[in-house]
Amino acid sequence: MIIKPKRMRKTKAQAVGKLLEEAIHSSAELELALEDKGWVRFSGEEEGLQTVDRMALIKRSRIHWRFDPLAKQAIRIWVDYSVGKGLNFSIKDSTQSIRVTEFWEDRRNRVLLSSQGQKKLARRLLVDGDVFFVIFPTSTGPLLRTIDPLQIANIITDPNDEERVLAYERRFFLADGGEKRLFYRDWTAEATQAGEDERVVDIKDSDGKLITDFEEAIVYHVAYDSIKHWGNGLLVPGIAWSREVKNFMEARVSIVRSLAQFAMKLKGKTAGAVNKLFKQLQSSFQTGATKESNPPAAPGSTWFESEGAELSHMPRDTGAGNAKDDANQIKLMFCSAVGVFLHYFGDPSTGNLATATAMELPMLKQFQSFRELWTDTYRDLFAIVLETDNLGKMDLDWPPIVETDFKAVAEAVSKMVTALPELKNLDEIVLKVITSLGIRNASEVLKEFKKLKKEAAKKQEDQAAELERQRQTPPTLVDQAKVESTLRAVKELRESIESAG
């Protein structure tokens, strides 16, 4: 039997006690502590991750998004700059425009399609890496909802074509503890399109059994940063480094706290002198006395000391300058992972007018690419709603990523229209100008603008026609008798006034 030394047992007990204390402090801290065990293990399954590991990454990303300041700021920057006030669309075909507008403005769908709904979807995609839209056909129009990626157990593909997604297997638990298993067709593999390639595909589940019972709804999958089918969350490669920043800052706080424990230093020549000074300055209450004989000094008091005692301040240098550089170096690893420059993480000393009115080209390109991903998504959703791939003329516009210089826009438009006057009659140009000015509902504004322009042109035509009519109308002959009668009456009135005077 091996008996551990008491010191080792005590040290281990202290470590366990400290861990429990931190865990009890916050459930989030507990989750982060469990997550500190190490990297996610890789396997030989699709895209190198087992289903359990993929779910663990999603949960880990959600925890860091909720509790990690760096992760929260990274997602906030991406969503605010990429989505902004939300998408505007304009469809030239009136029939398609009416149907899409009804779908867009359906109050059941506003939870996902309003400005806040669009931000929520973008946030989900960045954190989870995947968004699974599910479109339910209803008597009042298509109903748009999403499925939690944690419930998608399998993406089923054509065994002869891995790029062709056929269906999705969904698993979740009911309130009574039982497991529910559902299957949804992919939007590109609906029953009405199954024969397009002139071959029948038997869709099987993860157990190899033929699927015969599909839900009536269809699924549209959006994957971020994917190399095959599953997406990869924005925070995944940076989680380890954000954790190191957290650990580093906690260590810095410990240093500052330790220095704050003692403000002054009293030095004596001998150990006996130090003990004597300690007893003199010690509170009487600490020795069990009922009366304080050494109360704290009032502000502005005088300190007396002899040559045997010397009172001085404790050193206050914490190495903050070097610590800031060290922390920034660690943050740069996280910044590289999320694609956001360091000065966007709360350090105003590195900001200037350029960072307030412009943006670094790599970040601008990232946000533009993210927008294009959502542009394609909404265009496909509109195609599902309209049940056709022939969408016709459709414009999907977003507000500018950076603040627009209105003066520069006005000058550019003026020069462009002067050089090419025909451009001012193109709806695309007018819509782009309206959007660049940050005006909401640009398509509606364009319609109202065209309506007012048409009314103004009609009014101008009516005025011109009235002037032409008046010009061509011959002058009216004057009744000479009435004129002479009026002149006589005026003459008589004047004579009567003069005679009275």
Q: Is the Cβ–Cβ distance between 433 and 409 less than 8 Å?
A: yes
pLDDT in tens, 87-115: 988 888 889 999 999 999 999 999 999 99
Picking from 187, 206, 236, the residue at the C-terminal end of a domain is 236
pLDDT in tens, 245-302: 999 999 888 888 888 777 777 777 777 777 776 776 666 555 555 666 677 778 888 7
| Kind of pairing between the strands at 179-186 and 88-91 | unpaired
- Within-domain flag for 295: no
- Within-domain flag for 475: no
Average pLDDT for 324-329: 88
Picking from 210, 236, 262, the residue at the C-terminal end of a domain is 236
Q: How far is CA 187 from CA 385, 388, 437, 453, in A?
A: 11, 12, 36, 42
Predicted TM-score (pTM) of this structure: 0.70
Q: Is the dihedral of CA 99, 102, 108, 112 positive or negative?
A: positive
Structure tokens at 462: 């009516």
The 3-state DSSP class for residue 266 equals strand
- Within-domain flag for 84: yes
- Within-domain flag for 23: yes
pLDDT attached to residue 287: 59
pLDDT attached to residue 461: 85
- Look at residue 201 and tell me whether its pLDDT is greater than 70: no
pLDDT category at 414 given cuts 50, 70, 90 is confident
pLDDT attached to residue 207: 80
Backbone phi, psi, residue 171, to 5°: -130, 135
Backbone phi, psi, residue 292, to 5°: -80, 120
- Within-domain flag for 438: yes
* Cα atoms in the 13 Å half-sphere on the side-chain side of 427: 19
Q: How far is CA 263 from CA 136, 256, 257, 312, 447, in A?
A: 68, 12, 11, 9, 71
pLDDT attached to residue 45: 52
CA diameter of the chain: 150
Average pLDDT for 26-43: 53
Cα separation, 273 vs 267, in Å, equals: 9
pLDDT top residue among 22 and 149: 149
pLDDT attached to residue 170: 95
pLDDT attached to residue 23: 46
- Within-domain flag for 203: yes
Average pLDDT for 124-141: 96
What rounded mean pLDDT belongs to the chain?
80
- Look at residue 132 and tell me whether its pLDDT is greater than 90: yes
pLDDT attached to residue 184: 95
Average pLDDT for 13-37: 53
- Within-domain flag for 331: no
pLDDT attached to residue 168: 95
List beta partners, residue 168: 155, 184
pLDDT in tens, 209-257: 898 889 999 999 999 999 889 999 999 999 999 999 999 999 888 888 8
- Look at residue 384 and tell me whether its pLDDT is greater than 90: yes
Structure tokens at 484: 């002479």
pLDDT category at 4 given cuts 50, 70, 90 is very low
Cα separation, 158 vs 163, in Å, equals: 8
- Look at residue 484 and tell me whether its pLDDT is greater than 70: yes
| Kind of pairing between the strands at 309-313 and 264-268 | antiparallel
Picking from 236, 270, 300, the residue at the C-terminal end of a domain is 236
Q: How many domains does the chain have?
A: 2
- Within-domain flag for 103: yes
- Look at residue 198 and tell me whether its pLDDT is greater than 50: no
Per-residue DSSP letters for 129-192?
SEEEEEEE--TTS-EEEEE-GGGEEEEEEETTEEEEEEEEEEEEE-TTS-EEEEEEEETTS-GG
Q: Is the Cβ–Cβ distance between 173 and 180 less than 8 Å?
A: yes
Q: Which of 160, 133, 165 is nearest to 148 (CA)?
A: 133
Q: What percent of the chain has pLDDT over 90?
A: 36
pLDDT category at 474 given cuts 50, 70, 90 is low
pLDDT top residue among 53 and 230: 230
CA 217: distance to chain centroid?
A: 28
What domain range includes position 451?
404-470
